[in-house]
Amino acid sequence: MKKSFYILILISIVLATGCIGQQQYAKTLEKDGVEYQFSDNIYDSMKIPVYDEDFILDRIRFGPEKITVVFNGSSLEDNAYFATVGFNVAHKLANFFTYSQGRFVNITALDINNNVTQIPGSIIYMKGPNTGAEGNSVSLSNLTVGNNTYSIVVMQGTTYQNLSQAGDRLILLVLDFRS
């Protein structure tokens, strides 16, 4: 009897410690009746810093008829990252504009190394580990192409996972999940 009592206490302690130390985990959320599936744990993606949230929302969420996702296509490794992350971002943005705002926004991708002189619409610039990422963040910056300077949203990550989380973080911001 005494032995089973100690075993019960030991099991209770182990279960309680396991529950206390658990990390929060979620890869889906619902907004306006639409379920958004994220690539990474939302709680981890929320740790990616976002600078100038209001200005980023101005560029992406409010008003554009067209969004161009640009990248530097000089790295085969980063191109693979851009294909996946860019598709995920474009798909979620299209759902947001269609179902939450009731409008269509044309979303395209563009390699800035292909003699580009103009970039239409709001711009999201993806930077990967081999194409200029200086950290893991979502921020506002300037980009000069030809004779034109654009105010752009920069989404950057020093690894595939970090870039993926930065993409998820941008979408979370658009969905109104702020820091």
Q: How confident is the model at residue 11 (pLDDT cuts 50, 70, 90)?
A: low
Provide the domain count of the chain: 1
- Supply φ then ψ for residue 156, to 5 degrees: -135, 150
In a domain, 7, yes or no: no
Yes or no: say if 155 and 163 are a contact pair by the CB < 8 Å rule. yes
Q: How confident is the model at residue 145 (pLDDT cuts 50, 70, 90)?
A: confident
The CATH number that applies at residue 141 is 3.30.379
In a domain, 16, yes or no: no
For residue 103, the enclosing domain spans: 27-174
Residues 102-113, mean pLDDT to the nearest whole number? 93
Q: Where are the alpha helices (DSSP H) in 21-52?
A: 42-45
In a domain, 63, yes or no: yes
Percent of the chain at pLDDT exceeding 90: 70
In a domain, 112, yes or no: yes
In a domain, 142, yes or no: yes
Q: How confident is the model at residue 114 (pLDDT cuts 50, 70, 90)?
A: confident
pLDDT per position as a tens digit, 20-32: 555 689 999 999 9
pLDDT per position as a tens digit, 36-59: 999 999 999 999 999 999 999 998
In a domain, 11, yes or no: no
Q: How confident is the model at residue 64 (pLDDT cuts 50, 70, 90)?
A: confident
pLDDT on residue 34? 93
Q: Where are the alpha helices (DSSP H) in the chain?
A: 2-20, 42-45, 53-60, 76-95, 160-174
In a domain, 64, yes or no: yes
In a domain, 5, yes or no: no
